Each structure stands twice: as C-alpha cells, then as structure tokens.
Amino acid sequence: MGDPGDAGFEEEEAFDLDAVVWLPGVDYLSGWHEAQTAADELAGALGSAGVDTSGVRARADTGCDGAGVVRLVLPVATVREIARLARGSAGRLRKAS
C-alpha cells in the first residue's frame, strides 16, 4: 500500500480508503476480471460505432465488496458523440415499439 502521492495513485482522483484496504475473504480478482472484460467490450463497441477511442481510458477496478467497477475518463468530444449515438438509438427503439 502507500500514500496518495506515491506512484500508482492518479492525481485527479480523491483518496479512496476502499481502494487501499482489502478485506480478508473477498474475491477481488473475479470482480476485477469481470470489470476488465466489460471495459474491453465497451472499447470494442465504441470503436464499432465509429467513436474515436484514442483519448478514452477505461480502468478495471473493484469496489470494497469485490464487485467489478470500470472507471472511465473520456474527452468531452467523445462524451458528446456517445450521447448523440445514445439519443439516436433511443429514438429508433421508441419508433420500433
């Protein structure tokens, strides 16, 4: 473990005690693996939809209970593109029902 100022801690994130305390008996590896798989799926889906993923950072992590978590850092232009795609998909789904 270490301090928030040490290497391995991202500067833009606030100190999160759950990120440095591991509880005995909690399966963190399975949650992390699931999060990594989900992050890869998201990156593939965004790329398939034509979204520029060059500035996208998806980091697999786990919550204090071992559940997988994906932490995203997205450029503003990418967020707007994803929002545009989501609105378009929602509109098509409403028309189809």
39 in any annotated domain = yes
In a domain, 50, yes or no: yes
Task: Supply the range of the domain harboring residue 33.
Answer: 23-96
What's the pLDDT score for residue 9? 41
Has residue 70 been placed in a domain? Answer: yes
**Residue 64, pLDDT score:** 85
92 assigned to some structural domain:
yes
**Is 48 exposed, middle or buried, given 0-12, 13-18 or 19+ CB atoms closer than 10 A?**
exposed
Whether 15 maps to a domain, the answer reads no
Residue 89 lies in a domain: yes
Strand partners, 60: 70
Residue 5 lies in a domain: no
Torsion sign over Cα 61, 64, 68, 70: negative
Q: Is residue 14 part of a domain?
A: no
pTM, two decimals, is: 0.67
Measure the CA–CA gap between 35 and 68, rounded to whole angstroms: 5
18-69 pLDDT tens trace: 556 667 777 888 999 999 999 999 999 999 999 999 999 999 999 888 999 9
Confidence of residue 88 (pLDDT cuts 50, 70, 90): confident
* Number of structural domains the chain divides into: 1
Structure tokens given for 15: 């100190």
User: What pLDDT was estimated at residue 82?
Assistant: 93
